[in-house]
Amino acid sequence: MKVTVYGAEQKCASCIHLPSAKETMEWLEAAVSRKYPDREIHFRYVDIEAPESDEEKSYAERILDDEYFYPLVVLNGKVIAEGDPRLPQVYKSIEQAHPE
């Protein structure tokens, strides 16, 4: 299972009091790893100013075009949260993607 968090070093205007996208990814990784210690879940952070793959470029462009807010959380290619991600929604998406 792959979780990708898209963001930028600079916080978005509406996110001024929230953690950075990278801090959000680290927080999500820690929380998800504690809740699902037996699941193989890989986390990756992508800076929207330096995407590498075509998929990353597509999401980065959509964020820059204001279609999505960052941090944008993508699970196995599906958007599961944006802006200020909520753990219950992330957990629900993980369980739906890979029930055990």
Residue 8 has pLDDT above 60, yes or no: yes
CA distance 47 to 51: 6
Range with the lowest mean pLDDT among 20-24, 25-29, 41-45, 76-80? Answer: 20-24
Please, what is the Cα angle at 63 between 43 and 99, to 5 degrees? 35
Q: Considering the entire predicted model, what is its pTM?
A: 0.89
pLDDT above 70: residue 13: no
Catalogue the long-range contacts made by 91-94 (C-beta closer than 8 Å, 24 or more residues apart): 91/32, 91/35, 94/1, 94/32, 94/36, 94/39, 94/41
Mean pLDDT across 12-38: 84
CATH code for the structural domain at 2-81: 3.40.30.30
Express each pLDDT in 51-63 by its tens digit. 999 999 999 999 9
Region 7-17: what's the mean pLDDT? 66
> 44: helix, coil or strand?
strand
Residue 11 has a pLDDT of 57
State the Cα–Cα distance between residues 51 and 62, nearest whole angstrom.
12
Q: So what's the pLDDT on residue 28?
A: 95
- Residue predicted with more confidence, 20 or 35: 35
Instruction: With beta carbons less than 8 A apart as the criterion, state whether 94 and 28 touch.
Output: no
Distance CA 38, CA 66 (A): 36
